[in-house]
Chain A
Amino acid sequence: MAATSTSIQRVRISDISPARKISTGVVEVLVALFIFAVFARTVSAGSITTFVMTPGGITTGQMGNWVIPSQLTLYLLAALSLVIGLFQLIRGFGKITNLMVGLVFLFFIFSFLTWQAADKSLNLAGMLSSAVQLAVPITMGSFSGILCERSGVVNIAIEGMMLMSAMVGALMGSLTHSAWLGLFFGVLSAVLLAALHAVLSIKYKIDQIISGTVINMFSAGMTAFLSQKFLQTRQELNNPAMFTRIEIPGLAEIPLIGPILFNTNFFVYLMFALLIILQVALFSTRWGLRVRSVGEHPKAADTLGINVIRTRYMSVLLGGMVAGMAGAFFTLGSVGRFEEGMTAGKGFIGLAAMIFGNYTPIGALGAGILFGFADSLGSKLSLLGSAIPSTLMSTAPYVITMIVLAGFVGKGHVPAADGVPYTKE
């Protein structure tokens, strides 16, 4: 039965409207022209771009610098984008359209970097490495969203759950001097908020977006309150034990990939573990089928004897758990201390990644890395002395989120009963 439902879903994804086929193609051609006219034409013919291929401060898996002629590379990328765009206009890519859009986007970014770093040197590996790190909260946030929304509960409270978990993680991690206990209590706090969301939206049936907003508000207020009351006045309470870098022997020696994926933070491994678990659990187990059927057609699921309410509670609580892990990353895996409002909208960007990734874990990971990359652009480029002010550059992830939403929402597969409370008749 699992197999049938996946095939149904495949049909839906490949079902792309003619208008969207054309508009996607036009955008891709425009990107090609932009690379050609703005980037390639303004670079002097003899320019050389140097990309450093080993992240700073890492000794495993070293790789030589990558030196490329700037203008030739830009012409090449423009041509490739043009080919993809024209093919999209004439034939269409069907179900891999999103993938091709992502590819053209990558070409665009790479062109931009080549253009910016002409006659300079840029640490590309460092950028990719920080993109993966920045993708962790976004991707895990969208995993949380997938769990909730596949069962039919809209959860915009992920941001608040992450913020709460970050604060509690920092506090408990400092008190117990253990990163693991910090993580445990952080996750617990997020699960409690998820339970509140579940009760408000499943039992009391209040609008799920309002419920989510209230939890975000509560979380922002509570973390700021406790942070000012304790964390800022007593520094020892805001100095948690952190998860350190873990080197996987052997794999860490692979050039480029090794340092980025196999000699990195615990949370990056956690993200990949969750990816596999979720992908298998949602699409190849009886439990996953039940969750999805509750999100698609709760009445039918109920008739077949599935407990709709219990399934939804379970999914929202699990979603809260994952959101808690994402939040703990901020204080226990990345920054090492709690700052007010430090999640900075990553939970919401995670929701956009979820939609872009078509409600599948693997898609969400791709989208999350894309957003993470956009995020790391700003900081790296300001180091290069870019002409674009860093305050404007830092709006990139938010602008991209909006573009993604405008282009993809409602076209992919949204669970049919998403956001609709279930009343048993």
Chain B
Amino acid sequence: MGKKDLEKQDIGKTILEELTGGEPKEKRQKRGIWKILQIPALAILTGLIIGAVLIMATSFDVYDAFKVSLWKGLGTAFAEVGEAYLALITGSLGNPVEIVQALLYGDALDFRNAINPILESLVQSTPYIFAGLACALGFRAGLFNIGVEGQLFIGAAAATFVGYSLTGLPPYIHMPLAFLAGALGGALWGMVPGLLKATTGGHEVINCIMMNYIAYRFTTFLLTGPMSRPGTGGMPVSPIIEKSAQIPQFFKTPIRFHLGFFIALAFAALVWWVLFKTTLGLNLRTVGTNPRAAKYAGMNIIATTIIGMAASGALAGMAGANEVLAVNRSMAIGLSAGYGFDSIALALLGNSHPVGVIFAALLFGVLKNGATKMMVVSTIPIDIVTILQAVILIFVAAPAIIRSVYRLKQPKVEAAAIMLSGWGGVK
């Protein structure tokens, strides 16, 4: 049903391309680093410009200043945007003056405080790396895992439960155990839409979204009922996890930089290896790009779909486990700040490649950390980040818009756009 285009594709050629790793070598070398980066970079720039317009347009001070005179109005508008974006940058990357001073005087504490904004941005990036990898893995397998949010909640709940209920274990057992429990929780939650897609053809997008709502309400039930912290009077918050289950932080408490960041990088490497160097990865990618070809090549589409969703869910669960074990040390219902939607943006921005996802996650971590600081100095709600992400995403998904705005030339070889299946289910 539908997708006549896929039928037309030469199946043998597709498999050959998959086996040799995409396009022929000489073509790949011609695409320089700028060619790869120009669309995301211009998309981000355009996003920031649109964000600036939004900040100007929703400020009463700007309107008041425009009543005085045009120049005063423009001045106030640019001053507001300047102040906001400056707070965004110093809040997320640190104040260069402070860093230089701390370096000159050689005070270790000052130095740590000066670079704390950068470290905090890395802390904020960590769940983004996991969540982005989850979505990227899904895209590679032709699955739109919009259920990262729910998988993250279930993963976090599982990790929390293992984290506080088991006592007396040595850290080198308890911590990995709690982390893996989180991965398992996410994997099980992610497997359900995969299973439904593979067996009944129910589209994973709606099922994932429904699972998100169920996960949210289910964890609310857990946190107010069986997993609630005694003595909090019905607040949805879990007991504090055992010391032995905590992922260690490197410095003393205001600085939260922790080992989880490096665990995330390690998993990015693992995802890269699995996707591009193993048979499983080849199966996943072939099912993702051309299920018909995969079928004729004798691949088990049902198993691959379920494994793809489970693996994606596991990574999402790790994002939740990481937040509980390394940062919050207990689970509250406000755990996720919309990582579910953000993960889609991350995967698209990073072209569904683990390395791309890491850079996109760093960018988002910086944006989010900075926006929190921006909210303190100005009255701009943190949701501006979501708007920025959506705008950036539109331009990354439709590069033709960016090309026409900036008068760029149409490339000869267009990278394959992501295409997901419609409601019809398994083709």
Interface residues of A, Cβ cutoff 8 Å to B:
149, 154, 156, 200, 204-207, 209-211, 213-218, 220-222, 224-226, 228-230, 344-345, 348, 351-352, 355, 389, 391-392, 394-395, 398-399, 401-402, 405-407, 409-410, 414, 416-420
A335 to B136, CA, bound (A): 39
A221 to B380, CA, bound (A): 12
Query: Is A229 in contact with B58, judged by CB distance below 8 angstroms?
Result: yes
- Number of A-B residue pairs, CB cutoff 8 Å, is 163
Chain B, interface SS category: helix
At the interface, yes or no: B4 with Cβ under 8 Å from chain A? yes
Query: Is B384 in contact with A225, judged by CB distance below 8 angstroms?
Result: yes
For A398, what are the chain B residues with a Cβ–Cβ distance below 8 Å?
210-211, 213-214
A410 to B394, CA, bound (A): 30
Of residues 361 to 399 in B, which have CB atoms within 8 Å of A's CB atoms?
Answer: 379-381, 383-387, 389-391, 393-394, 397-398
At the interface, yes or no: B348 with Cβ under 8 Å from chain A? yes
A224 to B389, CA, bound (A): 14
Please give the number of chain B residues whose Cβ is less than 8 angstroms from any Cβ of chain A in the complex.
59
At the interface, yes or no: B144 with Cβ under 8 Å from chain A? yes
Query: Is A406 in contact with B202, judged by CB distance below 8 angstroms?
Result: yes
Query: Is B196 in contact with A406, judged by CB distance below 8 angstroms?
Result: yes
Query: Is A414 in contact with B206, judged by CB distance below 8 angstroms?
Result: no
Known contacts A206-B398, A214-B397, A216-B341; decide if A414 and B58 are in contact (CB<8 Å): no
A241 to B403, CA, bound (A): 45
Q: What are 16 A-B contacts with C-beta separation under 8 Å?
A: A206-B397, A210-B348, A210-B397, A210-B420, A213-B146, A218-B394, A221-B383, A224-B386, A345-B210, A345-B213, A348-B206, A391-B220, A391-B221, A398-B213, A409-B203, A420-B4
Known: A221-B385, A402-B206, A406-B202. 7 other contacts (CB 8 A): A156-B206, A218-B386, A221-B387, A399-B210, A405-B207, A416-B1, A418-B2
Query: Is A410 in contact with B201, judged by CB distance below 8 angstroms?
Result: yes
For B398, what are the chain A residues with a Cβ–Cβ distance below 8 Å?
200, 204, 206
When C-beta atoms are compared, the residue in chain A nearest to B236 turns out to be: A391
A217 to B2, CA, bound (A): 27
At the interface, yes or no: B417 with Cβ under 8 Å from chain A? yes
Query: Is A402 in contact with B210, judged by CB distance below 8 angstroms?
Result: yes
Highest count of chain B CB atoms <10 Å: which of A200, A216, A224, A410: A410
Highest count of chain B CB atoms <10 Å: which of A205, A214, A348, A418: A214
When C-beta atoms are compared, the residue in chain B nearest to A348 turns out to be: B209
Query: Is B206 in contact with A405, judged by CB distance below 8 angstroms?
Result: yes
When C-beta atoms are compared, the residue in chain A nearest to B209 turns out to be: A348
Known contacts A204-B398, A207-B397, A420-B3; decide if A225 and B381 are in contact (CB<8 Å): yes
A248 to B309, CA, bound (A): 52
When C-beta atoms are compared, the residue in chain B nearest to A354 turns out to be: B423
A344 to B209, CA, bound (A): 10
Query: Is B213 in contact with A344, judged by CB distance below 8 angstroms?
Result: yes
Query: Is A409 in contact with B422, judged by CB distance below 8 angstroms?
Result: no
Query: Is A417 in contact with B2, judged by CB distance below 8 angstroms?
Result: yes
When C-beta atoms are compared, the residue in chain A nearest to B192 turns out to be: A402
Query: Is B390 in contact with A406, judged by CB distance below 8 angstroms?
Result: no
Known contacts A214-B394, A222-B387, A402-B202; decide if A409 and B1 are in contact (CB<8 Å): no
For B379, what are the chain A residues with a Cβ–Cβ distance below 8 Å?
229
When C-beta atoms are compared, the residue in chain A nearest to B59 turns out to be: A229
At the interface, yes or no: B107 with Cβ under 8 Å from chain A? no
At the interface, yes or no: B344 with Cβ under 8 Å from chain A? yes
Q: Which of A209, A217, A391, A407 contacts B144 (CB 8 A)?
A: A209
When C-beta atoms are compared, the residue in chain A nearest to B422 turns out to be: A419
Query: Is A401 in contact with B424, judged by CB distance below 8 angstroms?
Result: no
Q: Which of A215, A228, A407, A410 contacts B425 (CB 8 A)?
A: A410
Known contacts A214-B390, A224-B386; decide if A204 and B400 are in contact (CB<8 Å): yes
In the complex, what's the smallest C-beta–C-beta distance from A64 to chain B, in angstroms? 37
For A394, what are the chain B residues with a Cβ–Cβ distance below 8 Å?
217
Q: Fill in one digit per residue for B337-357: 1 if any A CB lies within 8 Å of its CB, else 0.
A: 010010011001000000000
Query: Is A211 in contact with B209, judged by CB distance below 8 angstroms?
Result: no
At the interface, yes or no: B419 with Cβ under 8 Å from chain A? yes
Query: Is A409 in contact with B387, judged by CB distance below 8 angstroms?
Result: no
A218 to B338, CA, bound (A): 13
For A204, what are the chain B residues with a Cβ–Cβ distance below 8 Å?
398, 400-401
Known contacts A204-B398, A394-B217, A409-B202; decide if A209 and B424 are in contact (CB<8 Å): no
When C-beta atoms are compared, the residue in chain A nearest to B390 turns out to be: A218
Query: Is B422 in contact with A401, judged by CB distance below 8 angstroms?
Result: no
When C-beta atoms are compared, the residue in chain B nearest to A344 turns out to be: B213
Known contacts A217-B389, A395-B213; decide if A418 and B202 are in contact (CB<8 Å): no
Q: Which of B5, B54, B146, B224 contacts A420 (CB 8 A)?
A: B5
For B4, what are the chain A residues with a Cβ–Cβ distance below 8 Å?
420
For B397, what are the chain A residues with a Cβ–Cβ distance below 8 Å?
200, 206-207, 210-211, 214
Query: Is A389 in contact with B210, judged by CB distance below 8 angstroms?
Result: no
Known contacts A221-B384, A224-B386, A229-B379; decide if A405 and B422 are in contact (CB<8 Å): no
For B111, what are the chain A residues with a Cβ–Cβ distance below 8 Å?
none
For A226, what are the chain B residues with a Cβ–Cβ distance below 8 Å?
58
Known contacts A206-B398, A207-B419, A402-B207; decide if A225 and B383 are in contact (CB<8 Å): yes
Known contacts A226-B58, A401-B210, A420-B422; decide if A221 and B390 are in contact (CB<8 Å): yes
Q: Fill in one digit per residue for B194-229: 1 if any A CB lies within 8 Å of its CB, else 0.
A: 001000111101110111011001101100110000
Query: Is B2 in contact with A355, judged by CB distance below 8 angstroms?
Result: no
For B214, what are the chain A residues with a Cβ–Cβ distance below 8 Å?
395, 398-399
Query: Is B381 in contact with A229, judged by CB distance below 8 angstroms?
Result: yes
Query: Is A407 in contact with B200, judged by CB distance below 8 angstroms?
Result: yes
For B386, what are the chain A residues with a Cβ–Cβ distance below 8 Å?
217-218, 220-221, 224-225
For B345, what are the chain A residues with a Cβ–Cβ distance below 8 Å?
217
Q: Which of B210, B417, B418 contacts A348 (CB 8 A)?
A: B210
A282 to B207, CA, bound (A): 28
